[in-house]
Structure 1
């Protein structure tokens, strides 16, 4: 028969279990992936990606809105994993502090137990407790609370991004037949009513002008005549995207890669709005302006990732792509 533990050892074991439970209560652990609300199906980015791939042909492969959200989801997942590792390290440090504060047979010191209350932030309102713990130990507790809160915030952001991704794919799937019909309609038409020719100022003519498709040329020239442009409009370039297909033009509102003046920023907004207001008639597929993208399928602006410069974030030009 295994001998019974010594009474003091039994008390020590109970204290360790109590400490473990207390530390767990403070160091809120979060799962590696975002949790869905109770009763909801968990959103899986891989499943959404597969659904997006099935839509690529219908949308000419231009699912930029989804790709933008997916990038943010993947970044948030990486951030959450990194924070969880920090959280685990901080939890271990706090556990060590708690263990060293245990005194003889009386259990956890009352002053220290404040830390393990349901609201651990309350420890900072008690100067006596802070003095008792000492600066280094207080900093470890502060780190734990800060990392826990950061993890919760990132997890909330991840859930929001995942929900946005799911809603967008649902919208695109719902509009799939409508978009396919639009593509058939535009392909059957020879050229839009506006032929893409006319009195265009030389200052508006940019690179790749002659390689633009008739439809995109018509959109480009109508905007130039109706709204005007402060600088040149660049279209075709040898890239593996809609510019390389001749289906896109960039309407510049500043030069040198800088931000536009207030007047030119308003001008850019007019150009973007004209394209949106006439999207169905002209055959505009999507518009990018000021780090946002508008697509004819769901007809709403979606934020894009910060790419680090006014040009990459589309603050110095309006990008318009045709079907």
Structure 2
């Protein structure tokens, strides 16, 4: 062995050890195909959730406003139904009481408006006197009671009608809010070419179990308090419920929810990205079975938006929101930005 070989020996050993370390720590690099398709940890394009911060804020405000107004509208309609039932019952009671009061009035007219004094003076005997006195007392009590009940029922009917009128006005206000929020969303989406388009909807999508709501039908305010099973971060309870419902219905490919960097819903624990490919996020648009899988995930969340509290879904250059339906969407040209390699879910 020459001096040069002896000097190069340690260098060769060091190089071999470094190469071995690369092979151990990066097995994905051993896979070779005709066209490399690296698997990404998660979509990392700055615009991968919903474009600019201004657009994301506008979409969030429009979607939340629509959902909240819709809940208030439905609650108002329910109250109107209850008030209508109460009004019907009161009106039926008024009809009966009016007839009874009419009979009493007719009897009084027929007897010549018999007064208590004349009735008692015309008594033929002490016993008749007592009977007439008792009868007069009963008639007076009955008249007072029936008239009081009739008056109370008329007041109740008036209040019920006023309350129904108020609910009708409330519904008109909420319908106006829904229309305004839809226009806000359309205006925001117009900046990214958000024209109405066909989308991913399937009647065969499974039904999810509903997430908990407040007693008035609104969604509880939630923060990032639950450990995210897909990352080391946190998510909201409602986001976890939506994730678990997808898994329960067979959508179990790689998913990433919380991300600490960037804007949008991921750092808040209110968003998840569902890889179209089975092995993870690939830097290429999904085709074939992978695209069908993405279609199915998007359809599942659209069908169950009201049950789960979905704010919007983005998939394959399209975005869905309550009130607007599917609209075209362009995020910047890359598979991550255009959401052609993953389905994005944002939660309320």
TM-score, structure 2 as length reference: 0.38
Larger gyration radius, structure 1 or structure 2: 2
TM-score, structure 1 as length reference: 0.40
Instruction: Select the structure with the greater relative contact order (CA < 8 A; seq sep ≥ 6).
Output: 2
